[in-house]
Structure 1
């Protein structure tokens, strides 16, 4: 990592030590507000659902400390600034590795309690697995899942910070009760009602549901807030002329400006909207503009841990705020990355310089990029993932797990450990004080592959245990094996999702075909693309028909998937003029593989 400019592509960011992570506590509530121990015959809980008085939410959701892999740094020409961060991974575990009191504003639009199919937007297997746990135990299970995340968000907020939680009628009342327990009832500021005209059918047996709810909470009375004003009503041809009232005049007469109400009439992103990306739960930029302008200072940090298509980050970037976003879906991250890049390319005359941003993976890592890492970075990454300590006792001992020496092989996926490597590591163990004084003779070898000679050499060393005091027991562990991630999967008792943490993926091998169908008009086809991850399928294709230094999809060609029909593997595009053109295509599979192909054609 370059200390002057922050992480670059290929870097890994080690998880902080557990003891360095500050913990929030539940607020002290006044006696008159505390719920009774029982309400009739029904017991009433004082703590939020899922809370354990000794272990907090860690009892149900154990801590998993894995490094972040920086898979890309998108450059905007201001590399001296600390980059913004876009994460792919489980947001609970990502948040647990972020520093306390570091965020000014958190806005989240979590999955609504309206069924798993409604909330699976992008179709990733990771997204489906993540959401399947939420509905397992009905409303209590959903609230426990959300409470654990809200509690981490409370820890991340600065003392002057605030959080806005977006929900709908399915669970809003239950969420309000839980947030009162986590943040304190006196920390509640507003229940904002967002009303819209479009969307939904005309029901025959109930009133049409045309609003969502946003709960606004803070940590204390020193919270940041910038008052917003709106036009109240037309005063006619004469001004009001009362002190303390702001007025202005236009062609319709005099108008009074008043403080913004908690009732917001902002329409949804329609089918013909210029900002439409193509998935059903996209929130309008006008809504996030109002939230961010009101609740965060210029230069402050805005976070969204359910980023979807990246509206929060896009608006924060445009308004001169720093941002942190995260999503469980690799397609969501790809769409967000593309949207942010395109916004900067289209933005002219920006008042504030736009920082670079990094794309970082947590828990699911790109093996191909790891293979390109320098040896010392690769070894450190593997040791962190294995739960071992980086401890250079000898040039041939790279770390320890407990008291056992650990050796890490080369970064190349096709590089196999040799018999000579086994001999060298065994001799290094013999040189250690623990071998000489404490009779510790075990060792661990971590690598992508082991040659037959290496396996035989380790077996010969082990057999000596019966006849020779110089024996060494070496366990050989493949990096992509279940043994390598045992320390993580052991935590999966309550949540099967843990079994999918710490996996390695490959990008699709993208193949682009094309043919001319009329002047300047071509059909492009990626149906010959090979998916390299076992059991995966293509779920999204992005196209950039004027590719430069950065990938930025052409409008309408970023999110091309459809729940029923699947992704469009064939698209038609008409160029504005003839000549040489560079075309780039990105393909995502449903396990998280993301591949890029760039071609050059002569348009005529």
Structure 2
């Protein structure tokens, strides 16, 4: 008989702790995970005055930059814990973590790209698909296993005053709470917050309408950041209770006692009233003591009450023995409770509950906040947690970013942030959102040597690169060269042809040096070959341009499917050889029509001229109709496929510093929401020397490309 989830849970938590411990042991070792900076984003969306140097003086401290990370959050957290030369470890540095992990094994994770001529649906990238399938391989047990190891590592990131909020559906929250109790300790559970996310739900034929989520709030220690906020009193409550006024404002008389008897001063009679007779005790509100304006340390409860009475902060009933009250002023508001409700917005009118329920979490307050992301959360919800559990300057983290609400709110509230997601659409939306709101410069990073980590987990930590190269060659259909002619087992030949195949290492980028080496092997191995095909995992961003510059018809470069290692777990080599497609690289073409210096300014114009996309066969489209539509756009309007592009006017060959960006839906300089503008105009400090200008672009499916235009003269 299969074990229940309750029976499996101890083993799930133990396995998660073991996996986390293994990662922690490797933080300082040679196999530690690293982050690669893909872009230093200095928001300046398609404006004519975008100028990095006016805002940063050309110098940026990477240690203090916020970070948007693309990749598996387990590896992202490991990299943040490990740190590197440019950015130290974030262990014990994060004051607040908010996560909203998806929970739905049957969810449709496809994304839709609205393009000129129609909408194209894309299933998740294969890497994402296999991440989802691994999460649900054994149902809820797999989901909980995924969560356990990550929660252990998140606790390592938290500072001693840090908190974590875990946003869940009610169908899974009880299991995750047991995991959190084990990892954080049940003593550090603070609240189960019920978030009423809608007023009603039509699914009521066999159950009550599901209208709420659960947010579990834990802290790392007993001493934690907590700023208890308040909401205004509801209109109905004000009208029924607040009927009096003095020099301080409008008030109502309210109880000075709380339920339950107490020993000591708080249980003694005062002004003829004995609270214990009613089973109560004196409970003087902190706000009343604040209004008193004096230090009450060392005073008895009765002495404090005397002082409040003298300051006219209390109301004494005329009836002898009646219960004294305190003056509760309208400006005080109601402390936040553990039920939060969205505030309905119907036809522009905000409605508030008269039932005393928190209803000030507004649902997507402005039209500009709506990003078309299915699981988008309102900024008001995240703002509540950020203002309560962090200080200005605190570091806030989110490892399931969705539409980027946590980063957007943290940015607006003066907090530092680090966020990540496995989904390309999530990181693309977040980058655009932050640029749109004029965020401070931030890093866009990816997991370093991603396939290396995948290979180690799939083939074992001690696999040899040559073994993996042999696997890749076999799947492609090549036979290994004789050992004496083979370099690290990476060379093969297609049967019955004069074609050499080179399988590059997953531990490095495939660069122009790799291609030149392959050309040398083609000409020298076994008397020479007619052609060489290079199979690569990770490519330098400018590789497309470099291939074009080589202008070698006897050289072909193909992309190894990034999900190959995941699929090796599930299928044999022969099946993969029939199913996998090695595709050509995408590349970008751009030009610099003008570079002019006029007085104290330089005017630079950069133009996109063409975009050659990956074959539609390499993209996981939903239907043949989508494939046909994409083929038509590729042939007729390829630049319509650009989702985002940016310019670095002084590329140093290492860090791409984007000082100008444009993206679809940004209509400030262009009224067409379905296209980017194709010409960038930058105003820069004048520079007499030639410029190396780098242009990077991301298409609607998340594929990146780059072109460097070197030595551009004035």
Q: TM-score, normalised by structure 1?
A: 0.58
> Does the 8 Å CA contact 2:68/2:427 hold for their aligned counterparts?
yes
Q: Within 5 Å, give how 1:491-570 maps onto structure 2.
A: 506-507=585-586, 509=588, 530-532=612-614, 535-536=618-619, 542=643, 549-553=659-663
Q: 35, 43, 46: which one pairs with 1:68?
A: 35
**Any residues of structure 2 matched to 1:198-209 within 5 Å, and which?**
200-209=201-210
The equivalences for 1:108-257 within 5 A come to 108-113=99-104, 115-117=106-108, 123-125=123-125, 126-197=127-198, 200-232=201-233, 233-234=237-238, 235-238=241-244, 239-240=251-252, 244=285, 246=287, 254=330, 256-257=332-333
Give the Cα–Cα distance (whole angstroms) in 1 for the partners of residues 161 and 80 of structure 2: 18
For 1:127 and 1:227, the matched residues in 2 are separated by 39
Deviations 1:294-331 (A, max 9, x none): 11111010001111111000000000000001111122
What SS does structure 2 have at the residue aligned with 1:298? coil
Q: Matches of 1:541 and 1:200 in 2, distance apart?
A: 38
- Pair 136,119 (structure 1): closer, same or farther in 2 beyond 3 Å: farther
Structure 2 counterpart SS, 1:283: coil
Q: Which moved more, 1:107-116 or 1:200-209?
A: 200-209
Report the CA distance between 1:147 and its aligned residue: 1.2
**Cα deviation code 1:336-365 (max 9, x no counterpart):** 111111111xxxxxxxxx641011121578
Aligned to 1:31: none
* 1:263 and 2:230 matched: no
Please tell me whether the aligned partners of residues 50 and 144 of structure 1 are also in contact (alpha carbons under 8 angstroms).
no
CA–CA distance in 2 between the matches of 1:553 and 1:198? Answer: 35
Measured in 2, the distance between the counterparts of 1:157 and 1:142 equals 23
* Contact 2:42 2:659 survives alignment (8 Å): no
> 1:95: Cα distance to partner?
0.7
Question: Any residues of structure 2 matched to 1:276-425 within 5 Å, and which?
Answer: 276-344=370-438, 355-362=440-447
> How far 1:589 moved relative to its partner?
4.9
Quote the offset at 1:256 in angstroms: 4.5
Q: Structure 1 residue 171: deviation in Å?
A: 0.8
Kept in 2: contact 1:364–1:504 (CA 8 A): no
Q: Distance in 2 between matches of 1:540 and 1:321?
A: 35
Consecutive unaligned residues of structure 1, counting only runs of 5 or more, are 1-38, 345-353, 366-381, 388-400, 405-422, 427-442, 461-475, 512-525, 559-568, 598-604
3-state DSSP of counterpart to 1:225: coil
Greater share of helix: 2
CA contact (8 A) 2:33 2:78 kept: no
| Per-residue deviation, 1:594 | 3.2
Q: Count residues in correspondence.
A: 435
Name the CA shift for 1:588/1:130 in 2 (closer, same or farther; >3 Å).
farther
What SS does the corresponding residue of 2:382 show, helix, strand or coil? helix
SS of the residue 2:176 aligns to: helix
Question: Which of structures 1 and 2 has the larger relative contact order (alpha carbons within 8 angstroms, sep 6+)?
Answer: 2
C-alpha contact 1:133 1:495 (8 A) present in aligned 2: no
**Distance (Å, rounded) in 1 between the aligned partners of 2:5 and 2:205:** 38
User: Partners of 2:15 and 2:5 in 1: how far apart?
Assistant: 22
Instruction: Quote the Cα distance in structure 2 between the aligned partners of 1:227 and 1:264.
Output: 14
Distance 1:507 1:403 in 2: 26
The residue aligned with 2:367 is: 273
Distance 1:159 1:494, change over 3 A: farther
| Cα distance change of structure 1 residues 256 and 540 upon mapping to structure 2, 3 Å threshold | farther
Provide the rounded CA distance (Å) in 1 between the counterparts of 2:153 and 2:222: 20
The residue that corresponds to 2:273 in the other structure is none
SS at match of 1:117: coil
Residue 87 of structure 1: which of 69, 82, 85 is its match? 69
Distance 1:156 1:108 in 2: 14
3-state secondary structure, aligned to 2:369: coil
3-state SS of paired residue (1:137): coil
Change (3 A) 1:119 1:159: farther
1:407-433 residue CA offsets vs partner (Å, 9 max, x unmatched): xxxxxxxxxxxxxxxx9x99xxxxxxx
The normalised TM-score by structure 2 is: 0.50
Please give the secondary structure, in 2, of the residue aligned with 1:112: coil
* C-alpha deviation, 1:205, in angstroms: 2.5
CA 1:194–1:338: 2 relative to 1, 3 Å: same
Q: Does the C-alpha gap of structure 1 residues 572 and 588 become closer, same or farther in structure 2, counting only changes over 3 Å?
A: closer
Distance in 2, matches of 1:218 and 1:505, equals: 49
CA contact (8 A) 2:365 2:378 kept: no
Q: Check whether the contact 1:88–1:333 (CA below 8 A) recurs between aligned residues.
A: yes
1:133 aligned counterpart, secondary structure: helix
Q: Go from structure 1 to structure 2 and tell me whether the alpha carbon gap of 1:186 and 1:542 turns closer, same or farther (over 3 Å shift).
A: same
- Structure 2 residues not aligned, in runs of 5+: 44-54, 82-90, 113-121, 245-250, 257-283, 292-328, 344-361, 457-462, 467-484, 489-504, 528-532, 539-556, 577-581, 591-607, 622-629, 631-639, 646-657, 683-694, 708-714
Deviation at 1:277, TM superposition (A): 0.6
**Cα deviation, residue 69, structure 1:** 2.2
For residues 343 and 296 of structure 1, what CA distance do their matches in structure 2 show? 21
Aligned-residue CA RMSD (Å): 5.4
- Listed one character per residue, the Cα deviations across residues 165-210 of structure 1 (whole Å, up to 9, x for unaligned) are 0011221111111111111111111101111335753533222111
C-alpha separation in 2, matches of 1:148 and 1:200: 34
* Aligned residue number for residue 454 of structure 1: 521
**CA deviations over 1:376-409 (Å, ceiling 9, x no partner):** xxxxxx999999xxxxxxxxxxxxx9999xxxxx
